[in-house]
Amino acid sequence: MLRRLGILGGTFDPPHIGHLILAEYAREALELAQVLFVPAADPPHKDDTRLDVRHRLAMVERAIEGNAHFAISMADIERPGPHYTVDLIPILQTQFPDTELYFLIGADSLRDLPKWNRPAELIRLCKLAVMRRPDVDVTPDMHEAVLPGLAARVTMIDAPLVDVSSTEIVERLQTGKSVRYVVPDAVLDYIQANGLYR
């Protein structure tokens, strides 16, 4: 059996418990050897990345410390743009040969998958592990008409339905409200020490 590796990409602006829950539950459900957190250098679909990648990387490091099954990949940060997921996966396949890759996403990402760059190519390159979200109703075969074979490449992950967003976290920080328990303590310490999201 091929060694299985989970890939969790994102801006992590900031990283929060939703990211960690998805990574841990997917790791357990799919028997992943490791989950790689891949901070996005310059995501083409987001024009509102708030912090430089240096800060986002530092926060991810703090968020995952202490979990031997979690690691960081610099693959997206170190490659030239544009930064599409479909171009990232072959780099990781080269770095981790003889490995079955699972790209970890939320239900909202599965819902929007046909809008991604070259989604048919992406699902040929890796499998998708999808965590349900309380406000998004998806099924593995929902895009089968436009992405034939998608259902066979999707595994739904049962995890606590936690509706947390980085945008909401930043809004709370900017209005002086608490984000304790929503972001790891080490991440909150870093945010406060560096005066971020003010």
Residue extents of the structural domains in the chain: 3-163
Looking at residue 170, its amino acid is V
Closest alpha carbon to 118 in 154, 79, 146, 78: 146
- Identify the weakest region by mean pLDDT among 87-101, 124-138, 168-182: 124-138
Give just the sign of the alpha carbon dihedral 75, 195, 182, 64. Answer: positive
Residue 157 pLDDT: 92
Of 80, 71, 139, nearest in space to 107 by CA = 139
Closest alpha carbon to 12 in 80, 82, 96, 104: 104
Mean pLDDT throughout 143-154?
96
Over residues 122-143, the mean pLDDT reads: 92
Q: Is the pLDDT of residue 167 over 80?
A: yes
- For the structural domain made of 3-163, what CATH number should be given? 3.40.50.620
3-class state of residue 41 by DSSP = coil
Whether residue 171 has pLDDT greater than 90: yes
- Label residue 48 by pLDDT band (50, 70, 90): low
| Alpha-carbon dihedral 80, 43, 123, 128, rounded to 10 degrees | 130
Q: How many angstroms separate the CA atoms of 129 and 126, rounded? A: 10
Task: Tell me if 18 sits within 8 A of 11, measured CB to CB.
Answer: no
Residue 58, pLDDT above cutoff 90: yes
Q: Give the Cα separation of 177 and 170 in Å (integer).
A: 10
Find the mean pLDDT for residues 28-46: 86
Q: What pLDDT band is residue 81 in, cutting at 50, 70 and 90?
A: confident
User: By percentage, how much of the chain surpasses pLDDT 90?
Assistant: 79
Q: CA 149 to CA 113: how far, in whole Å?
A: 13
The predicted pLDDT at position 45 comes to 56
